[in-house]
Structure 1
Amino acid sequence: MPRAMAPPPSGEFEIRLTKPFSGPPSRTIEVIGEPNRSATIRRIQHQGNGNELAKTGDVPKDDVNELMSLVSTLRGFPSHPSKDIYEHDVKIESNTFELQWSNEDEDSSADTIKEIAGEQKDDFKRISDSIEALARTFAKKDAAI
């Protein structure tokens, strides 16, 4: 079931990856922007006791377009609010004009699925790895939190 979240205005998007899937986050990556333009990326290392180390940067337009293409493939993927059904120990949230999706959403069909297809797990991992690679590549400047 899609989230009851209003799409962002003017084609803006936000992609967020949080690791681990459950419990307090150790790492958060946010990509915010508009398609066909550069976007801002922020990588936050949660160090406990409320301490965080943040890095930020700009993602070039071509990489943004590739990310949006990858994330759009999540449409129709099942999700589960409390179970890491992709076994990659990350949450991905997509909030675009076309797609509001998270692998932590309530999805009644996920309860009937015994096992997610290997191809969907591979696609999910590829998208997750791509978001993390963007953060390693572009989020290098110290950022205020």
Structure 2
Amino acid sequence: MPRMVAPPPSGEFTVRLIKPFSGPATHTIEVIGEPNRPAVARNKTHQHGSNGASQEKVGDVPADDVNELMSLITTLRGFPSHETEDVYGANVILEFATMEIQWSNKDENTSAITEIAGEQKDDFKRVADSVDALARQFARKDSAV
């Protein structure tokens, strides 16, 4: 059963990519915005250990790139997920939330997953890589955090 999350405010979406799939996050990317408008990208690197410092970069994503991202993200609708197993082999958690759908590859899924098709793995990796590239391209300014 997918986890219950309150939908974002009217028309808003959130896309989040977290590395790695298991254990403490070392890298988090978040894109928040509305379709057909510019969005905000945050690219945060987490340092664990004695100093525990983190670095965050932010930037604006143009509306055309937001629309392309939303088009890519919606291709994952209906893809299987697994709460404890990295079924796509990409070592990332990918989450998105819109008014219509909330999905994550780390959601609880009550149906037994026997095997993920190679095409689904490729599609998932392509979307995850696109989110990562988008953050590298647009989130370049140091955050005030």
Per the normalisation by structure 1, the TM-score is 0.95
Structure 2 counterparts to residues 65-144 of structure 1, below 5 A:
65-109=67-111, 112-144=112-144
Q: 1:40 — aligned with what?
A: 40
Aligned 8 A contact 1:72 1:99 in 2: no
Question: Residues of 2 paired with 1:58 and 1:106: CA distance?
Answer: 32
Q: Percent identity?
A: 65
1:3 correspondence with 2:3: yes
Aligned residues: 143
1:135 CA displacement: 0.7
Q: Which runs of 5+ in 1 are unaligned?
A: none
CA distance in 2 between partners of 1:74 and 1:63 (Å): 18
Alignment of 1:27-66 (within 5 A): 27-49=27-49, 50-66=52-68
Q: Is 1:21 the equivalent of 2:55? A: no
Which structure has the highest helix share of the two? 1
Runs of at least 4 residues of structure 1 off by over 6 A?
Answer: none
- TM-superposed CA distance for 1:73, in Å, is 1.1
Whichever residue aligns with residue 58 of structure 2, its letter is T
Distance, in Å, in 1 between the alignment partners of 2:137 and 2:43 is: 11
Amino acid at match of 1:92: L
RMSD: 0.9
CA distance in 2, matches of 1:11, 1:59: 17
Gaps of 5+ in 2: none
* Residue identity matched to 1:136: R
